[in-house]
């Protein structure tokens, strides 16, 4: 199945997680789901963001939680929504797509702007792989 996010490939990094939703896909509004995922900040995740912010501050990387508003959503259809965040070190996209009755596909695409982006994501990647499926499961 071809997805809208595919047009941003190839990239320096991409991954996909398939998560089983607790409700049927037709009850899920994807644009709202993206905002909920990025605005979900349980204590354990807030702690990780604080540690990250301390570690990256000397490199001039933007700190704070990643809070997504309507402005970040660049595409929104019934079956897929895509958000885009562009920082000085990297550009990333996240797609949320309905792929079955209660299956949600979460794809991240990352493009490095420079060596700092590559180094940053090298250290972030293990956390990304742990955080994304866990947060999405908590939300849906």
In a domain, 91, yes or no: yes
Of residues 26 and 123, which shows the higher confidence score?
A: 123
Residue 27, in any domain of the structure:
yes
pLDDT of residue 75: 96
131 falls within a domain: yes
Bridge partners of residue 108, in order along the sequence: 15, 94
CA atoms of 81 and 94, how far apart (whole Å): 8
- Identify whether 18 is part of a domain: yes
Q: What is the pLDDT of residues 87-110, one digit of tens each?
A: 999 999 999 999 988 999 999 999
User: What CATH code is carried by the domain that includes residue 79?
Assistant: 3.30.530
Q: How many domains does the chain have?
A: 1
What pLDDT, on a 0 to 100 scale, did the predictor assign at position 101? 83
Sequence-ordered strand ranges (E) for the chain: 13-20, 73-76, 80-86, 90-98, 103-112
pLDDT value of position 1 = 66
Structural domain that includes position 121: 6-139
Express each pLDDT in 46-93 by its tens digit.
899 899 989 988 988 876 656 677 889 999 999 999 999 999 999 999
Whole-number pLDDT of residue 65: 58
Is 1 among the domain residues?
A: no
């Amino acid at each position: 199945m071809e997805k809208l996010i595919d047009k941003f490939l190839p990239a320096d990094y991409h991954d996909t997680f398939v998560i089983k939703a607790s409700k049927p896909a037709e009850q899920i509004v994807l644009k709202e789901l993206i905002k909920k995922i990025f605005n979900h900040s349980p204590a354990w995740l807030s702690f990780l963001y604080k540690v990250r912010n301390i570690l990256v501050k000397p490199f001039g990387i933007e700190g704070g939680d990643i809070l997504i508003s309507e402005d970040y959503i660049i595409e929104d259809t019934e079956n897929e929504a895509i958000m885009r965040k562009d920082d000085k070190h990297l550009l990333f996209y996240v797609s949320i797509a309905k792929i079955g009755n209660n299956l949600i596909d979460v794809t991240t695409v990352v493009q490095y702007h420079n060596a700092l982006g590559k180094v940053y994501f090298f250290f972030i990647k293990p956390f990304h792989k742990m955080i994304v499926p866990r947060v999405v499961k908590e939300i849906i």
